[in-house]
Chains A and B, each alone.
Chain A
């Protein structure tokens, strides 16, 4: 097969660069081509392969891959690449992507799949929300597509097209633990992702990753922000400037039979701060110990000294205008599909609402989402389970807050002690000047006074944001439920 040999050749000659870190892949796309093609990639690969080697990190074989399957480049090269890529303001989802995501998530959690006539003729929509024990079976996968930054297009701004999706590989023992397949060796996983992209390329699909999708926690409405998610999204955005995460919330279909899809990504200030966190962690691990004193000192408000080198401090948050609200941002998205698929969908829609003449006029196909929406029984369980998990989250938040308050108290005490010490030192210096000696320096404090390290606010931010999302959706669904109740009541009277 010609395309197979081409892939082999490419893999052989410019191994580090054939499936570009999609920074350059997307820049190849922005170079004018719509859908990337093999020739364009190869050219870009051969020209870029040299650059990568020159950058010093020298990728000898495609075994050094980031967790998302793109080859590792040095930081500076990555930054330089990313400067040239415009930030997408809008995302276009293919209809097929939605179908695939929803299908994959459903199959992973084993809910309501396929046959509605399974239970002795009665229609079942899967088990009730309270009976799902499958909070660990959340599924995730890779999104593929291309970036359209053509200024002359009607949207007049860079648009990220998402055209394909497939699930992440995971090992056979994957039932519990990290749902994102993190337990699979990162290299193996990256290899598999590369392989999948390569295979898709052979059938003329876009093969460059543009993000990933994630199924939100099934115990709680639209709750997806946790440490794993943040880490993953950070990795994606580090390698691809425009990486987005499509979050699918399976619970919305129970509450109101609507589609819970959101497209989110981390905001730029958050990325900055998180990067500091990761790099700080790396150097701390390398340098041993806290490294706190060695990293210099910064001034907190009120003149005290808070050690820099801890990330997500209040000061950093203030500087970057970062709070839980600005942590992640929603990217507006639209849906599109090819003409054939649209035609099929239209025919399907027509068929499902048409009446079958043989049964008279009565066969309105109300056995679909509209009637499900009107069902009254479901939401009680949903609301109960959500409130329970909310309570747990609240507990966690309270713990974080009490920890922070503890820090505040000790910080205030330390400030007082520092002031005291400074005063004493000044008094000493007066005396020494009076006696003709050298004044002692005022800067060097005894170490026990200068080790106040503000705990990272990252956890708090994540928990708060998650809670805010969950509460908002809870309000919406509960309000809808109230309306339904009132409607039912008026029907009876």
Chain B
């Protein structure tokens, strides 16, 4: 008897870039789920880019997905069947589209808890149908909301993200007929955009200081200071300190290599060389001059702005009917 091998076709989705906003939203949805619901499901929004970067022989190349947003969709699930509120999904989608966000489209769905269940395949197929692409181009984001043991002791060891996984569908074919859809993992990374980076930094600082029960910098737990000169100075200081730390570790490494304690990595060496070459030759007369002129420029702007604000206040007081 012929053994016909069951060939899963190559996944069309090769890489997924997820914004941390989406993960936060999923976790938030999980927090708000109805009692009795074990997992939550929703739609992922984002953009898809088709590239041939991975040298695919498959027609159409491979897809990369940028996930920027999401919304929750109510669903009902039990052991045998799952029902997703399709109308809700359509209405929400039309709302999102009308909000004018450029180019956001449905790229997949998210869930929490677990993925290897029949129901997940059903939902995956539904979303594939929604997007109009094959099952293998639709992303499924799995967020595990529990705290796993590794995460707590993870600051010195290997770095891995225990909370987020991305899957895509794989159709197993038997002699030209598709048999089943399974979900296989896909490489992913969580990448914040520039603004989000700042928000995350602020959040970790502010929330962390809240947990530490009030530090002495004048802000109560969780407070956010309005920008002022002192804050700018403080944040500048923090950046400089980190730079110095980095420089220290580089020097340490170089010292070790020189003294033979460590075998030098040629890649690192190349990086160092490039960095040193990239530093512009800053010392000398020309630099002093440019420095002076730019500082003067800024001082002029500072002076003028102070003058203007004083004048504004005066003008408002003086230029009234009573005067």
Contacts and interface: CB of A to CB of B under 8 A. Distances in A.
Interface in B144-166: 145, 147, 151, 154-156, 158-159, 161-163
A179 B233 CA distance: 35
Given A334-B223, A347-B163, A256 B85 contact: no
Contacts of A107: 68, 101-102, 104
Nearest to B254: A362
Interface residues of A, number: 137
A406 B109 CA distance: 64
B213 interface: no
B298 A360 contact: no
B227 A473 contact: yes
**Chain B interface bracket (under 10, 10 to 19, 20 to 34, 35 or more):** 35 or more
Given A102-B195, A205-B32, A464-B316, A199 B88 contact: yes
Contacts of A390: 305, 308
Contacts of B25: 96, 100
A471 B68 CA distance: 34
A141 B99 CA distance: 9
Contacts, number: 339
Given A1-B74, A253-B194, A313-B321, A170 B239 contact: no
B30 interface: yes
Contact of B159 (A202, A354, A361): A354
Contacts of A47: none
Given A1-B85, A99-B199, A252-B227, A334 B220 contact: yes
B207 interface: yes
B101 A108 contact: yes
A374 B193 contact: no
B95 A192 contact: yes
Contacts of A348: 20, 190, 200, 204
Contact of A167 (B31, B101, B228, B312): B101
From B66, B95, B193, B322, residue with most partner A Cβ within 10 Å: B193
A371 B145 CA distance: 32
A119 interface: no
B249 to A, nearest CB: 5
Nearest to A262: B226
A449 interface: no
B243 A257 contact: no
From B17, B27, B34, residue with most partner A Cβ within 10 Å: B27
Nearest to A324: B316
Contact of B321 (A196, A315, A394, A467): A315
Given A202-B88, A204-B34, A478-B301, A485 B294 contact: yes
Given A471-B309, A473-B227, A476-B228, A196 B95 contact: yes
B100 to A, nearest CB: 5
B239 A260 contact: no
Contacts of A474: 301, 305
A410 interface: no
A203 B72 contact: yes
Contacts of B235: 256-258, 373
B28 A341 contact: yes
B240 interface: yes
Interface in B280-323: 282-283, 287, 291, 294-295, 298-299, 301-302, 305-306, 308-309, 312-313, 315-317, 319-322
Contact of A199 (B91, B229, B317): B91
B250 interface: yes
Contacts of B145: 340
A148 to B, nearest CB: 15
Nearest to B156: A354
B240 A487 contact: yes
Contact of A261 (B156, B161, B196, B224): B224
Interface in A81-110: 94-96, 98-100, 102-108, 110
A290 B225 CA distance: 48
Contacts of B220: 334
A427 to B, nearest CB: 29
Contacts of A313: 321
Interface string B45-72: 0010000000000000000001011001
Contacts of B252: 361
Interface in A365-404: 366, 368-374, 380, 383, 387, 390, 394, 397, 401, 404
Given A204-B34, A338-B28, A341-B24, A95 B322 contact: no
A257 B232 contact: no
A320 interface: no
Contacts of B24: 95-96, 99, 337, 341, 344-345
B6 interface: no
Contacts of A484: 236
Given A112-B195, A356-B159, A489-B291, A337 B207 contact: yes
Contact of B253 (A344, A361, A461, A464): A361
B246 A335 contact: no
Interface string B172-213: 000000000000000000110111111111111011100100
A323 B268 contact: no
B129 interface: no
A323 B314 CA distance: 12
Interface string B10-42: 000000010111011101111111100000000
A330 B226 CA distance: 10
B130 interface: no
Nearest to B239: A370
B253 A360 contact: yes
A329 interface: no
A39 to B, nearest CB: 14
Contacts of A337: 24, 203, 207
Contacts of A286: none
A259 B309 contact: no
Contacts of A71: none
B242 interface: yes
A112 B204 contact: no
B5 interface: no
A174 B101 CA distance: 11
B224 A167 contact: no
A483 interface: yes
Contacts of A332: 223
Nearest to A104: B101
A203 B243 contact: no
A154 to B, nearest CB: 11
Interface in A454-493: 454, 460-461, 464, 467-468, 471-489, 492-493
Nearest to B21: A99
From B34, B72, B158, B224, residue with most partner A Cβ within 10 Å: B224
A336 interface: yes
A411 B321 CA distance: 9
Contacts of A350: 154-155
B267 to A, nearest CB: 8
A486 B211 CA distance: 35
Given A257-B235, A301-B321, 10 more contacts: A99-B200, A103-B21, A113-B193, A170-B100, A340-B28, A362-B250, A383-B298, A383-B301, A464-B312, A467-B312
In the A-B complex, the 8 residue pairs with the closest CB atoms: A314-B321, A480-B232, A370-B239, A112-B194, A99-B21, A349-B204, A340-B27, A314-B320
9 contacts: A1-B74, A99-B200, A106-B194, A108-B102, A113-B193, A313-B321, A342-B207, A401-B315, A492-B287
